[in-house]
Every structure is written in C-alpha cells, then in structure tokens.
Amino acid sequence: MDEKGSDLTKEPGRRMRDEMDEALKPSRPWLLVIASLMLAALAAWSAYQWKQSAAAEGKLRAEVKQVYLEAEQLRAQAAQSQQRVSLLEKQVMALSAEREATTKRIEELEAELSAAKARLGGKKPTTPAKPAPKR
C-alpha cells in the first residue's frame, strides 16, 4: 500500500480534516499583500516629498542669505549717507556764519565810507543801505 493508504488506516478522520483545512485556507493572504504594496507606495511618495522639501529648504536658505547680504549693504550705504548729510549740514552752517560775517563787514565798510564822504564833502552822512535779504 502507499503512504496515503496507510495514513487512512491509522487515522481515518485525518483525510477529511486535511480537505477542510485546504478549503478554508486561502492560497495567499491577499489583504496583506495589498496592504504591503500600499505601504511601499506611501513610503516612496513620502521619500519623494521629503527630497523636494529638502531642495526647497536649500533654495530658501540661499535666498535668505542673499537678503541678509543686501540688507547689510543697505545699512552701510545708509550710514555713509548719514555721515555725508551731517558733513553737509556742518558746511551749510559754516557758510551761513561766513555770509553773516561778510554781510556785517559790508555794512561796517558802507558806514565807514559814508562817514568818510561826509567828512570830506561836508555833507551829512547818509543812512547805510539796507542789507540784502537773507535767503
């Protein structure tokens, strides 16, 4: 006899149990296969998104660095401009003071000239001319 025949004689209910197990047992767990494929696809998509965000981060870091450099250049230009403005203000004040001093000197010289003319010509001294209006 063959082995199957000998198994049947030893355990008569075994054949029926094997047949029932084969009928109930699916050949493969398809739900797990589909779930694992979906998980692999999700992992690949996440890796792709991660790579894109890392590249975007690098671009943004470079852009922020450029903005900081431009801001520093603008600060330096502003400081230079402020120094120029203060220097020009000092020059304007000095020129204004010099103009006032020159105006006073001209008025004094006109008064002296009028006095000298009066002494030489015997005439009354005329009033000095009005100074030029201030600008």
Q: What is the pLDDT of residues 27-66, one digit of tens each?
A: 678 899 999 999 999 999 999 999 999 999 999 999 999 9
The per-residue pLDDT for 29 is 84
Q: Is residue 134 in a domain?
A: no
Residue 131 inside a domain? The answer is no
- The token pair that represents 75 in the structure block: 């600060």
Query: Could you tell me if residue 126 is inside a domain?
Result: no
In a domain, 16, yes or no: yes
In a domain, 132, yes or no: no
Give the chain's mean pLDDT: 85
Within a domain: 105: yes
Confidence of residue 105 (pLDDT cuts 50, 70, 90): very high
CB 125 within 8 Å of CB 118: yes
Residue 74's domain comprises 3-121
Query: What are the pLDDT digits (tens) for 8-21?
Result: 556 666 776 777 66
- Which one, of 126, 131, 100, lies nearest residue 113 by Cα? 126
Averaged pLDDT for residues 108-128: 81
Confidence (pTM): 0.46
Residue of 93, 103, 96, 99 whose CA lies nearest to 130? 103
128 domain-assigned = no
**What is the total count of domains within the chain?**
1
Q: What integer pLDDT is reported at residue 1 of this predicted model?
A: 46
Three-state SS for 69? helix
- Give me 64's structure tokens: 């922020």
Containing 55, the helix (H) or strand (E) segment is helix 30-121
What is the pLDDT confidence band of residue 7, given thresholds at 50, 70 and 90? low
